[in-house]
């Protein structure tokens, strides 16, 4: 009798588990639909199917209307449906709709990609209210350069199951795309190859971060980009990693899919990767608030988007330079004191170590800007 009851209990437990699966599985799948629609939209953009891409972004927005970084299955991902819908509208010539979506994206989570298309709209006579306000100290407008920009060298991309000349195309187009952002100082390919040859630095094992960092230090750059190109269905999957040459840590890693091997589709995929890398490395500025020997404390924290490992230019703003005719202040004299690296990040504060000295000792009130 006891055995029959035990068996019936087991059957009931199994039925309950099956019922839970039937109830919860659609909810779990539904909860990820917004991201699936978003990725489909991005894929259609790479194909140049703007209208179809826009329809997918609208479906994503109906389920999750917030632009910004979010999490899917425990992994941080980019999710910018308003921004990408705005880009689609711009490319379709629907400029008023594009302005609305891009402004919404900027109000939720500012990005350089949205800013770039708002500038394009402004040239066409569609001025954004989000660009009318003066920039804050932590978000300089346009390319800002105090001291040196982040210097990058791009190493040859590994080809997996693909012809080697495709890797050459990706390498050349990646260098061009990075240069066009005006955000980085990119080492020319011919110069890179010459230095590698002179210093007898081989390229074997370039996908290993420590090897890439060693090569980067040998050629005097801040970061090394490595990557791979692999066949994926009828198209090409491209992965890129930016590696810090001081710590050998991966600064950021991005990927994109080109639906075919055509140069145009590959260029679009690389543009997507580079745009996301630029968003991962925003230009942030602030002030030195405290100094202890070679350790400086700055008022830029995680709330403003800074991360451990970012490099800063530390400088002192001197007397103003005025137009002798109008008296207008044209700028200030700048004294670059050196460079620092972020060691620890708190919500409103970063603890940094000076690793390059070019002038006097930093003092509270001096300024910093990310490389």
Provide the token pair at 80.
């910018």
What CATH number does residue 117 fall under? Answer: 1.25.40.10
* pLDDT band, very low/low/confident/very high, at 144 (cuts 50, 70, 90): low
Share of the chain above pLDDT 70, in %: 85
pLDDT of 319 strictly over 60: yes
Instruction: Compute the distance between CA of residue 155 and CA of residue 192 in angstroms, rounded to an integer.
Output: 9
- Same domain for 335 and 223? no
Give the distance from CA 117 to its chain's centroid: 16
Q: What is the pLDDT at residue 102?
A: 95
- Judged by average pLDDT, the poorest of 23-37, 49-63, 165-179, 301-315 is 23-37
Chain segment 355-366, per-residue pLDDT in tens: 888 878 899 999
Closest CA to 314 of 246, 279, 364, 247: 364
- Same domain for 297 and 249? no
Cα four-point dihedral sign 124, 127, 132, 135: negative
* pLDDT band, very low/low/confident/very high, at 40 (cuts 50, 70, 90): very high
Chain segment 99-131, per-residue pLDDT in tens: 999 999 999 988 888 988 998 898 888 887 765
- Same domain for 273 and 317? no
Instruction: Compute the distance between CA of residue 79 and CA of residue 190 in angstroms, rounded to an integer.
Output: 37
Q: What is the pLDDT at residue 366?
A: 96
Domain that holds residue 295: 285-370
* Residue count (the chain): 371
What's the pTM? 0.67
How far, in Å, are 53, 67, 140, 142, 327 from residue 319 at the CA level? 52, 41, 20, 23, 14
Give the distance from CA 119 to its chain's centroid: 19
Q: What is the pLDDT at residue 22?
A: 45
- Cα angle 312, 152, 308; round to 5: 40
Q: What is the pLDDT at residue 111?
A: 85
- Same domain for 101 and 175? no
- Same domain for 24 and 119? yes
Chain segment 227-257, per-residue pLDDT in tens: 999 988 888 999 999 998 888 888 999 998 8
Provide the token pair at 95.
């400029």
Cβ–Cβ under 8 Å, residues 98 and 117: yes
* pLDDT band, very low/low/confident/very high, at 196 (cuts 50, 70, 90): confident
Mean pLDDT, residues 156-166 taken together: 82
- Same domain for 121 and 25? yes
Mean pLDDT, residues 163-192 taken together: 89
- Same domain for 167 and 256? yes
Angle, helix 112-123 to helix 95-108, in steps of 10 degrees: 150
């Amino acid at each position: 009798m006891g055995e029959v009851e035990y068996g019936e209990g087991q059957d009931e437990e199994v039925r309950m588990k099956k019922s839970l699966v039937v109830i919860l599985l659609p909810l779990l799948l539904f909860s990820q639909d917004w991201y699936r629609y978003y990725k489909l939209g991005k894929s259609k953009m790479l194909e140049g199917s703007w209208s179809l891409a826009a329809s997918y972004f609208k479906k994503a927005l109906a389920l999750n209307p917030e632009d910004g970084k979010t999490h899917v299955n425990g992994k941080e991902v980019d999710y910018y449906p308003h921004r990408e819908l705005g880009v689609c509208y711009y490319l379709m010539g629907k400029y008023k709709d594009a302005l609305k979506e891009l402004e919404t994206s900027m109000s939720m989570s500012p990005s350089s990609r949205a800013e770039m298309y708002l500038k394009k709209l402004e040239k066409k006579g569609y001025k954004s209210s989000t660009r009318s306000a003066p920039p804050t100290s932590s978000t300089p407008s346009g390319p800002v350069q105090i001291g040196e920009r982040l210097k990058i060298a791009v190493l040859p991309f590994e080809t997996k199951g693909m012809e080697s000349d495709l890797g050459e195309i990706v390498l050349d187009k990646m260098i061009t795309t990075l240069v066009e952002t005006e955000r980085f100082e990119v080492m020319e390919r011919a110069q890179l190859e010459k230095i590698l040859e002179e210093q007898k630095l081989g390229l074997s094992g370039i996908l290993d971060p420590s090897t890439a960092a060693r090569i980067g230090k040998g050629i005097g750059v801040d970061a090394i980009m490595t990557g791979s190109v692999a066949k994926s269905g009828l198209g090409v999957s491209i992965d890129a990693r930016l590696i810090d040459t001081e710590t050998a840590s991966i600064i950021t890693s991005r990927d994109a899919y080109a639906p075919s091997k055509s140069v145009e589709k590959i260029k679009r995929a690389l543009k997507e990767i580079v745009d996301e890398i630029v968003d991962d490395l925003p230009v942030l500025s602030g002030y030195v608030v405290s100094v202890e020997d070679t350790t400086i404390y700055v008022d830029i924290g995680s709330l403003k988007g800074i991360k451990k490992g970012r490099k800063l230019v530390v400088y002192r703003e001197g007397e103003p330079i005025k137009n002798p005719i109008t008296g207008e202040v044209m700028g200030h004299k700048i004294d670059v004191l050196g460079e620092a690296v972020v060691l620890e990040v708190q919500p409103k504060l970063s603890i940094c170590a000076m690793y390059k000295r070019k002038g006097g000792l930093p003092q509270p009130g001096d300024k910093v800007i990310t490389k």
